[in-house]
Amino acid sequence: MVSALSRKLGRDLVRLWSQAAAIALVLACGVAILLMSLGMFQALETTREAYYDRQRFADVFARATRAPRALMPEIAALPGVVAAEARVAGLVTLDLAGRSRPGMGQVLSLPAAGGPPRLNVPILAAGRLPDPEARDEVLVNAAFAKANGLRPGDRLIANLNGRKRDLAITGTALSPEFVYTLGPGALMPDNAGYGILWLPDRAAAAAFDLQGAFNDVSLALAGGADANAVIDALDRLLAPYGGTGAHGRDQQLSDAFVTAEIQQLKAMAWILPPVFFGISAFLVHMVLGRIVALERPVIGLLKALGYSNLAVAGHYLMLAALTAAAGILLGWGVGTWLSRALAELYAQFFDFPYLVWRAQPGPYAVAGLLGLAAASGGALQAAIAAGRLPPAEAMRPPAPPRYGRTLSDRLLAGAGLGQPAMMVWRGILRWPLRSGLTLLGLALAVAVMVAANFLDDALDKLIDIAFTQAARQDAALILAQEAPAIAVEEVRALPGVLMAEGQTSQPAILRHGPRERRIGIEARPPGADLARTVDAEGRPVALPPRGLLLSSRLADRLEAGPGDVIEAEFLTGRREIHRLPVAGIVEQYFGLGAYMQADALAALRREAPRIGAVNVALDPAAEAEFDAALKDIPALAGTVMLTQVRRSFEDTIAQNVVIMNTIYITVAVLITFGVTYNGARIQLSERARDLASLRILGFTRGEVSGILVGESLVLAVAAQPVGWAIGASIAGALAHGSQSDLYAVPVVLKPATFAAASLLVLAAAAGSALVVRRRLDRLDLVSVLKTRE
Amino acid sequence: MAETIYRTRGLSRVYATGAAAVRALDAVDLDVPAGEFVVLLGPSGSGKSTLLNILGGLDRATGGEAWFRDRSLTEMDEADLTRYRRDHVGFVFQFYNLVASLTARENVQLVTDIAADPMSPDEALGLVGLGPRVNHFPAELSGGEQQRVAIARAIAKRPEVLLCDEPTGALDSQTGVQVLDALAEVNARFATTCLVITHNAAIREMAHRVIRFQDGRVAEVEVNTTRRAASEIAW
């Protein structure tokens, strides 16, 4: 049988449902976001670990121009290396049926002996591996096959080092090297336009003239091996053969993106949920404090009947716990749904063979326990007060609150405010902690909105700087091999090309003191107009005749500023080390960039200027002719259509921003409602007698509700600047938490962002206060006055 | 001679409110025989409620001693007092103190849930004549009915003492009589000692014993040789 006390609990909850619901909703937000980010973080990390482990993802990677196979035993014998595998790798242009635009392919060779590679083992999704003897068989990555509707047995045409080859697809596969498959120059995976092609060793070697040689090597290390030592040793071995610098997993593009995503989820888990939990705790504290005050006689009664202090405290604690339970259940539900949605989003970008988000008990338990802890934490003081209240004292009505004349009263009196304004003001000052916490709660609602809108503005700026100001070309043609600068003229002659500018990217290690980064130094002709370097405001920065321009994040990483001298070890050509002054800092949100003038670079390296890529501006009317012409250029490794990159980036961002904003606006409204509604309800309950007396004295409804709503609104207005400040720091924390070597989000805070946040929160506050006002309007004056306090 | 159920010696209670200390109870010596119907009379602030609270284990004395049978109430700790209230004492308050969200039966059940050997809630409500209204909420009951629910709740645990603080204070005369009748019935039937605080001097005629309070002290103890039934009293 249900005990009478439990029945009371149940009925109290029903009676308080709107206040409990407001709290539960805020708590649910925290639980859902924590569950989602924690669950997804865990899922991504464990999946990645298992995938890498099973498919023997390499630890160290290196490229060279042409190294003899005979070098392999020496590489394999390096201390700490347990497996080494050489490959032939290269970019090819693809002619895909039904696509006017040429695609790009990354060729990787399969072992000459047949069978799967020893490292970076692809998982067959369909079909079989190519026959090692076949010259026209290819295995492609599953995402590329799916995007192009290709199946085993279908064919595709590849421009293999100048020769067009018709290849038969034997199978499709997934690889740990390409969880995030980003083509050269792309910002988002484009599975239709960029594919991975595994060719038999003989076919690949023949295509790239690398018989008996390799240009790509992967190493697996023993646990505990010193990766840096191996990287250095490998660099020394490959240096004579055009090695461009070995690196670990941290600089493997796909893994770096997965890592960045994991890091972002972690940042989200630790920045946002505490805000919600804090507000929930505060709301519980406020509401339960009032309930305990109202139920003093009941508390006295329960004690008189022989209920222990613990039982009484437990009773009120349970009220909070049940509210929390509702919030937790809701949060689990929403969190599960969000996780599924996010898993689907990841499925679009990440190619894991088995990334399924499974409901793991861990994150549910953590989110649930933290939610419960927040509610209990908020309830504790009131519950303990109820438990400690001596029964005889509980039976007596509480002493009226002691209002004292303070300095502020004299100031207000001097200001000639009326009595209602005085009541509002004293109400705020009488409970400074409660007023302060209410203000803080509303400020957090503003902050959440500011932090959400900041992203919108930040991405606008990012797109503006990255595309409108810096990378303005319509397309970039990537040459199969570096060519003399004069090759630009051939591109300029292609149909539809309005402008063409060459550029080259030279791999180098930049050092400043103990800090170093392996990057590509981009060199462009002076006055290049298609690809420009710009400052943080988007103003073009001319390439200096001497020295380097560093992107701000690279400058940060190297702790270098203008005037400092950087040591640059070039990994190509004569592999010389040069000391270069930092001539300026530029803004670059994607990757870490370093830039110099093409002539200056050539002079430094004592070479004629060479180019590896050509940026072009196109005549939109002649794009089809341009596309057709590209398919027949043998020296071309690939084409990056920046117009398309831009569009897909904007689309993806726009979609994400809409989702994020909807979530954040909901959250901000919920917080505001939770804080204002509960605050006004509590005031109504505390002041019902005062307000009813005023009505009887002849005050109008409007004047009386002005007192009630006034306090909420005064606090809401005061909360705005605080909210702006907190919002700005949350925005900073989110931007900082999500930046990596791959990309960064600028912190852009516009007055409109603050204004929109304030408008929304003030409107929500006014709306919640008006809901309570309707209660006040219905107040039965006589019965309120008759009730014994 | 009946057993003494309550005994106090030099019992004092001082409230420290701000600068001035208020002596609510000032060295009270008292003996209450078991099974009696005792009326406590006196003006407001004369110490009646304070005494009742201390005897009921709701409040603590600041001086002197009080015993329930042979157990010292003044030496009990918090948990002992809770236990004592749970096992031995029934309370009836002026404003009934019913839990508004519980029905009559559930209000009684609050006690029967935790008592050692309670009667059933329905039986207790039947004793005060509320059998047909067990499923009503307090707001659906008249003042007199609410007070009878409170009495049912107090007697459901079969307490040895019933402590009533102005049980008829909020009631009209006719309903007040019904409530007093119920109390007298409990006293007669179960030999439950009843201590009843009242402002209403008329009620003293029902009592075995009348204790008058003045300024925190016992001014006079009067033993009635003849008692009147509640129904014979009017005010």
What is the full DSSP assignment across chain B?
Answer: -PPEEEEEEEEEEEEEETTEEEEEEEEEEEEEETT-EEEEE--TTSSHHHHHHHHTTSS--SEEEEEETTEEGGG--HHHHHHHHHHHEEEE-TT----TTS-HHHHHHHHHTT-SSPPPHHHHHHHTT-GGGTT--GGGS-HHHHHHHHHHHHHTT--SEEEEESTTTTS-HHHHHHHHHHHHHHHHHH--EEEEEES-GGGGGG-SEEEEEETTEEEEEEE-SS---GGG---
Least confident of A276-280, A286-290, A418-422, B13-17: A418-422
Alpha-carbon span A64 to B179, nearest angstrom? 103
Instruction: Provide mean pLDDT across the span A548-553.
Output: 92
> Chain A residues contacting B, CB < 8 Å?
3-5, 7-8, 11-12, 15, 297-298, 300-309, 390-392, 395, 788
Residue A542 and residue A579 share a domain: yes
Q: What is the DSSP letter of A190?
A: -
Answer yes or no: do A649 and A784 share one domain.
yes
Chain B residue numbers with beta carbons less than 8 Å from the beta carbon of A306 are 82-83, 85-87, 89, 111, 114-115
pLDDT tens-digit readout, A352-377: 887 656 777 888 999 999 999 999 99
Determine the residue of chain A that is closest to B170 in CA distance: A788
Q: Per the CB < 8 Å rule, is B110 touching A302?
A: yes
pLDDT given at position A403: 62
Of the candidates A581, A591, A532, which has an alpha carbon nearest to the alpha carbon of residue A557? A591
CB A205 within 8 A of CB A213: yes
Pull the structure tokens for residue A513: 């003191």
Residue that terminates a domain, selected from A153, A174, A209: A209
Q: What is the mean pLDDT of residues A750-768?
A: 89
> Quick one: A602 and A696 in the same domain?
no
Cβ-Cβ contacts under 8 Å between A and B: the total is: 79
Residue-averaged pLDDT of chain A: 86
What is the reported pLDDT for A783?
Answer: 66
Q: Residue A258 has what pLDDT?
A: 87
Place of tokens 């050489």: A86
Higher-pLDDT residue of A466 and B69 is B69
What mean pLDDT do residues A302-329 have? 92
Residues A554 and A680 in one domain: no
Per-residue pLDDT tens for A181-217?
988 877 778 888 899 999 999 999 998 889 999 999 9
| Chain B residues in contact with A303 (beta carbon < 8 A) | 58, 82, 85
What length is written for chain A? Answer: 789
Q: What rounded mean pLDDT belongs to chain B?
A: 88
B56, B97, B110 member nearest A5 (Cβ): B110
Distance from CA of B82 to the nearest CA of A (A): 5
Residue A509 domain-assigned? yes
Which one is predicted more confidently, A93 or A741?
A93
* Residues A4-24: tens digit of each pLDDT: 899 999 999 998 888 888 889
Residues A662 and A770 in one domain: yes
Do A508 and A546 belong together in one domain? Answer: yes
Q: Residues 6 or more apart from A706 whose CB is under 8 A from it?
A: A420
Lowest-pLDDT range of A13-27, A204-218, A325-339, A632-646: A632-646
Give the confidence band of A409 by pLDDT, cuts at 50, 70, 90: low
User: Which band of pLDDT confidence, cut at 50, 70 and 90, is reported for residue A784?
Assistant: low
pLDDT level of residue A169 (50, 70, 90 thresholds): very high
Interface mutation vs chain B, best among A2, A6, A15, A301, most B CBs within 10 Å: A301
Beta carbons within 8 Å of A660's beta carbon, 6+ residues apart = A452, A455
In this prediction, residues A378-392 reach a mean pLDDT of 89
Q: Which residue of B has its CA nearest to A15?
A: B101
**Which of A308, A390, A395 has the CB atom closest to B79's CB atom?**
A308
Work out the burial of residue A212: count CB atoms within 10 Å of its CB; fewer than 13 is exposed, 13-18 middle, 19 or more buried.
Answer: exposed
pLDDT of residue B73: 93
Determine the Cα–Cα distance for residues B62 and B65; give it in Å rounded to an integer: 9
Is the predicted pLDDT of residue A414 greater than 80, yes or no? Answer: no
Which residues span the domain enclosing A581? 497-618
Task: Please indicate whether residue A243 or residue A777 has the higher confidence score (pLDDT).
Answer: A243
| Contact in structure between A498 and A623 (CB atoms under 8 Å) | no
What is B34-57+89-232's CATH number, 3.40.640.10, 2.10.70.10, 3.30.420.40, 3.40.50.300?
3.40.50.300
Residue A675: per-residue pLDDT = 83
DSSP A304-324: HTT--HHHHHHHHHHHHHHHH
Contact between A351 and A143 under an 8 Å Cβ cutoff? The reply is yes
- Provide mean pLDDT across the span A258-265: 83
Secondary structure (DSSP) of A82-143: EEEEEE-EEEEEEE-TT-SS-EEEEEEEEPTTSS--SSSPPEEEEE-PPPTT-SSEEEEEHH
Regarding predicted confidence, which is higher, A231 or A589? A231
- pLDDT above 90 covers a percentage of chain A that reads 38
pLDDT of A489 reads 92
- Kindly tell me if the per-residue pLDDT of A297 is higher than 90: no
Please state the rounded mean pLDDT for residues A309-338: 93
pLDDT band at A789; cut points 50, 70, 90: very low
pLDDT reported for residue A264: 79
* Coil vs helix vs strand at A173: strand
A684 within a domain of the structure (yes/no)? yes
Distance from CA of B226 to the nearest CA of A (A): 33
pLDDT for position A272: 77
- Tell me the shortest Cα–Cα distance from A719 to chain B, in angstroms: 37
DSSP codes, A457-484 = HHHHHHHIIIIIIIB--SEEEEEEEEEE
Contact (CB<8Å) B59/A12: no
Q: Confirm whether A769 is domain-assigned.
A: yes
Q: What is the pLDDT of residues B106-159, one digit of tens each?
A: 999 999 988 888 999 999 998 888 888 889 999 899 888 898 899 899 889 889
For A622-629, what is the mean pLDDT? 86
Of A11, A297, A307, which has the smallest distance from its Cβ to B97's Cβ?
A297
Q: Do the beta carbons of residue A202 and residue A132 sit within 8 Å?
A: yes
**Domain definitions of chain B by residue range:** 34-57+89-232
How crowded is the C-beta side of A240, counted as CA atoms within 13 Å? Answer: 4
pLDDT at A269: 79
Q: Is residue A771 part of a domain?
A: yes
Q: Are strands A137-141 and A60-68 parallel, antiparallel or unpaired?
A: unpaired
Task: Compute CA A668 distance to the chain's CA centroid, rounded to the nearest angstrom.
Answer: 20
CB count within 10 Å of CB A157 equals: 16
What single DSSP character describes residue A743?
B
Range scoring the smallest mean pLDDT among A419-428, A645-654, A774-783, B51-60: A774-783
Give residue A128's pLDDT.
94
Between A394 and A786, whose confidence is greater? Answer: A394
**pLDDT at residue A644 is higher than 90:** no
pLDDT-derived band at A410 (thresholds 50, 70, 90) equals: low
Contact A4 B93 (CB under 8 A): no
Residues of B at the A interface (Cβ-Cβ below 8 Å)? 53, 56, 58-60, 78-79, 82-83, 85-87, 89, 91, 93, 95, 97, 99, 101-102, 106-107, 109-111, 113-115, 153
Runs of H (alpha helix) within A239-308: 253-294, 296-304
Q: How many domains does chain A have?
A: 3
pLDDT at A356: 59
C-beta of residue B126 within 8 angstroms of C-beta of residue B106: no
The residue with greater pLDDT, A626 or B202, is A626
When pLDDT is averaged across residues A765-771 and rounded to a whole number, the result is: 84
User: How many angstroms separate the most distant Cα atoms in chain A?
Assistant: 103
A651 and A771, same domain (yes or no): yes
Query: Is pLDDT at A106 greater than 90 in this prediction?
Result: yes
> What pLDDT sits at residue A344?
76
Which residues from chain A sit within 8 angstroms of residue B97, using beta carbons? 297-298, 300-301, 395
Q: Do the strands B37-41 and B193-198 form a parallel or antiparallel pair, or are they unpaired?
A: parallel
